[in-house]
Amino acid sequence: MAGSMHGRGVAAVGLTVVALLGQVGCTSMPASTTSAPSVVSSVVRAPFGRATDGKPAELFTLTNARGIEVRLANYGGIITSLRTPDRSGRFDDIALGYDSLSGYLRDTPYFGAIVGRYGNRIARGRFTIDGTTYHLAINNGPNTLHGGLRGFDKVVWNAVQFQNAGGVGVVLDYTSADMEEGYPGTLRTRVTYTLTDDNRLIVDYLATSDKPTPINLTQHSYWNLAGDGTRDILGHELTINADSMTPVDTTLIPTGEITPVAGTPFDFRTSMPIGLRIDQRQNTQIRHGGGYDHNFVLNRGSAAPDSLLHAARVFEPATGRTLDVFTTEPGMQFYTGNFLDGSITGKSGHIYHYRYGLALETQHYPDSPNHPNFPSTILRPGQQYKTRTVFAFGVAR
C-alpha cells in the first residue's frame, strides 16, 4: 500500500516547506505598485451562479497580507484566478479560466479544477479489485480521464470559509456515492485550500471509503506566469526533480515501464526553457504526447511517505515570477496545453491559443490500478487518503 493511503503527517509539513522555500531561492514579494499600501488578509464569499443541476455555486476570494489574491469556486473546487506581482510589483492573473460559471459549465479542459475520483487516465475504463472488475465511462479516446463524464470537477462541493493564524481559506467537502461513475464505495472527500501570508497556497486532500476503491486527486490549474494568458509558455524555464518518467502509448496510457530521463527531452533536472525541446518529434514520447503530457517519477529517495518534497520550479524571465511546487505525492503530470487550439475565449476576452498554459498535476501514476508495479492507489475501509501539495509564489530579481 502506498504511503499516501495512510495518515500523512500534515501537521508538521508547514515547517518543512518554510525551510525548503529558502533552499530553492524564492524571494519575498516586492511592494505592489498597484495595490493599497496595507492589505489585510481576508476571505470574501459571493454568489457564482447555478450549476446545471440547479445547485447554487459560490465564489470565494482569498487575499493575503501581501496582496496575493486567489479566487476559487465550490463548483469543482476550481481556482478561477490567482493574482501575483511581477518583479516591478505589477499584479496579473497567472491562472487560465473564465469570467463566469457559464464557461466552466461548457466543455472545459479542466481549468483550475479538483479532478477525481481518479485524476488522469485509466486504460479502457476498467480495473479489477479483489477479483471484481469495474467498468467506467469512456470519455477520452478508448480510456477514462479525470474521473469520467461527471467527475469531481463538475459537482458543487459544500464549503466553509475560515481565517486563522495559519492563513485564510476554504474547506470543501463532497461525498461521492457508491458506484458513482462506476467507482465502488461511498467516498467522503475533503479538500482544504489555505493561502498563507508567506505566499503559499496549500492544498490538503483527505478521503475515506467504505469499500476498496481507487483514488487519485489532483489540482488541474493551467499556469501562465507571464500573466493574463496573453502569450504561450514556451519561454518559461522549468526544473523538475525527477530522474525518471513513465512512458506512454499512443492513447497516453503508461506502458508500465519506468525509464530514465537522461539524454531525452524529458530531462528537466536543470532549468530549461520549456520550448527548447518540445517539438523534437524524433522522440517517440514527444510524438505520443504532442509535446509534454507525461508523468514524472519524483525523486523521493528514502524520505518518509508523508514528507513534503520539492517537485518543480517554474521561472518566467520577462516578469521574474516564480512558482515552486512541493508535494507528498510520488508523481507529477507535466502538461503543456497541447490541446488548446484557440477555440476557447477566457477571462477578459483573451483567446487561449496553442500552449498558452502549463499544468503541474501532483499525483500517483496514471492507470495505477492496472499496473501492480506502480505505487498503489487503492484506498480500503479503515484507511485514510491524505496528501498535501503546496504552490509557492515568488519573484526572481
Which helix (DSSP H) or strand (DSSP E) does residue 48 occupy? strand 42-50
- Catalytic residue list contains 316: no
- Catalytic residue list contains 220: yes
The residue type of 167 is G
Q: Which of 220, 236, 294, 310 is catalytic?
A: 220
Strands (E), 96-197: 113-115, 121-122, 126-129, 132-135, 144-145, 158-164, 167-176, 187-195
Q: Which of 69, 361, 364, 371 is catalytic?
A: 361
Q: Which residues are catalytic?
A: 220, 361
